[in-house]
C-alpha cells in the first residue's frame, strides 16, 4: 500500500495520544483524536456498554485519572492493520481495576487519521 509507513506512524501517534488522554483524563486531547460522531461500545464485566463520544468523554472528565491516582501507564499497542484509508488497532489498556482490550476503528480524513469507533471489553485475570 502506498505510504504504509507514513500512515502507520500517524496512527501510532494517534494511539499514543489516546493512551495519554485516557491516562491523564485529558478530554480536550481525546476530543481531537475521536470523530465527533464516534461510538464507544462493548461490555464491562459482562454488562453491555454503549455511549456516544460525548457521553464517554463526560465520564472520563468526571473521574479521577489514573495519573492522579498514581498508577503507572502500562497501555500498549498490540497490532495495527491498515487498508487504504481505514485501519483497526488492537490495544491493551489496563487501568484502575480493569484489564481492557480495545479495538479502535480509524479513518483517514482530510484532517488526518481519527478514531471513529471504539469497542472495549474487560478481560478478567484469574
Look at the chain and report how many structural domains it folds into.
1
Q: Please state the rounded mean pLDDT for residues 74-79.
A: 97
97-110 residue pLDDT tens: 999 999 999 999 99
Say whether 56 sits in a helix, a strand or coil: helix
For the whole model, what pTM was predicted?
0.94
Question: Which one-letter DSSP state was computed for residue 71?
Answer: P
CATH number at residue 55: 3.10.450.50
Q: Which residues constitute the domain of residue 92?
A: 4-122
Pair 63, 86: CB distance under 8 Å: no
For the four alpha carbons of 48, 104, 40 and 61, in that order, the dihedral sign comes to positive
- Residue with the three cell numbers 454488562: 47
Amino acid at each position: 500500500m502506498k505510504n504504509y509507513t507514513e500512515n502507520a506512524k500517524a496512527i501510532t501517534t494517534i494511539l499514543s495520544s489516546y493512551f495519554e488522554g485516557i491516562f491523564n483524563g485529558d478530554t480536550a486531547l481525546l476530543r481531537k483524536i475521536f470523530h465527533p460522531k464516534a461510538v464507544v461500545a462493548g461490555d464491562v464485566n459482562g454488562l453491555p456498554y454503549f455511549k456516544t463520544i460525548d457521553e464517554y468523554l463526560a465520564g472520563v472528565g468526571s473521574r479521577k485519572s489514573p495519573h492522579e491516582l498514581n498508577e503507572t501507564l502500562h497501555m500498549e499497542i498490540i497490532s495495527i492493520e491498515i487498508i487504504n484509508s481505514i485501519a483497526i488497532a488492537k490495544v491493551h489498556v489496563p487501568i484502575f481495576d480493569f484489564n481492557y482490550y480495545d479495538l479502535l476503528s480509524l479513518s483517514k480524513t482530510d484532517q488526518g487519521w481519527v478514531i471513529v469507533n471504539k469497542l472495549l471489553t474487560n478481560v478478567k485475570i484469574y
